[in-house]
Amino acid sequence: MDWVGRPVLVTGCTGLVGSWLTQALIERGAHVVGLVRDGVTANHFTRAGLSQHMTIVAGDLSEISRLERIINEYEIDTLFHLAAQAIVPLAYRNPLSTFETNIRGTYLLLEACHRNPVVKRIVLASSDKAYGDQAVLPYTEDAPLKGAYPYDVAKTCADLLAQSYWKTYQLPVCITRCANIFGGGDLQWSRLIPKTIRNALFETAPTIRSDGTFQRDYLYVKNIVDGYLLLAERMDELKCYGEAFNFGMERPYTVIEMVETILSRWGRRT
């Protein structure tokens, strides 16, 4: 599959994964259309000057008529749906905005694609949090989705909506469930890795919100981008529509291990 000249819509193009994915698509010659709700500063999207090499459409996922217009006007062939409220503590404080964006925004976008079948492939970003608490680890793609808290529930719902649109309408969608993401341009200081890096730079004590033994898998943002592109490129060949794919390194780290590893790069100790 050749990306040159291919019209691609990226929702959430200014976010951590979205900005690196947008850059990779631009480098491959795609005609990238980005849906942007808010102005952004000091992140990778802005620093890389990506807006100069793509089409920006102002708006969000709240209006299906706008989504349909974008799909039709730009004859979108491939869609990466990354737009979401991605901060877990914010979902706890304000679940309604998370549900509006992550659930309603997803079903409006899927319906817009259903109504306008110019879209040949959709990659939808879910999360490993959609699995909720599992008795058997590591979880595999056939594990039940049972998110319990607001952010997790929103991801579970979006995931199931995508599966439903494939099973009901044969909408060509695949789902990615990613582990914890880190990489350049992440300015969400509530996340462990950028927060600990900032602690090291400013020589302040790291903060850990638990006993430090909780384990998660961590995945570098460029590895995720490679996975997204490969999945989109192989969807037609593999006929894997409606399926979900776990993205991770299969090597979990405790919070303490991550903090100690980061601080050791600066010659500091916990």
pLDDT of residue 110: 98
The residues, ordered by sequence, that sit 6+ positions from 92 with a Cβ below 8 Å of its Cβ are: 149, 150, 151
pLDDT of residue 112: 98
Q: Specify the long-range contacts of residues 39-43, CB closer than 8 Å, at least 24 apart.
A: 40/14, 42/187, 43/14, 43/16, 43/19, 43/185, 43/187
Which residue type does 156 have? Answer: T
The fold adopted by the segment(s) 7-182+219-249 is Rossmann fold (3.40.50)
C-alpha span between 131 and 155 (Å, rounded): 9
pLDDT of residue 40: 66
pLDDT of residue 135: 84
In the block, residue with structure tokens 């880190």: 182
pLDDT of residue 270: 55
User: What is the CB neighbour count within 10 angstroms for residue 111?
Assistant: 17
pLDDT < 70: residue spans in the chain: 39-42, 268-270
Q: Which two tokens stand for residue 222?
A: 């460029």
The residues, ordered by sequence, that sit 6+ positions from 195 with a Cβ below 8 Å of its Cβ are: 189, 206, 207
164: exposed, middle or buried (C-beta count within 10 Å: 0-12, 13-18, 19+)? middle
pLDDT of residue 21: 98
Q: Which two tokens stand for residue 18?
A: 């979205």
- E strands of 85-222, at which residues? 121-125, 173-178, 180-182, 215-216, 218-220
Name the pTM for this structure: 0.93
- Please check whether residue 153 is in contact with residue 186, taking contact to mean a CB–CB distance below 8 angstroms: no
Question: Which residues are part of the catalytic machinery?
Answer: 151
Torsions phi, psi for 118 (to 5 deg): -75, -20
Domain boundaries, the chain: 7-182+219-249
pLDDT of residue 267: 74
Q: What sign results for the dihedral spanned by CA atoms 9, 160, 233, 169?
A: negative
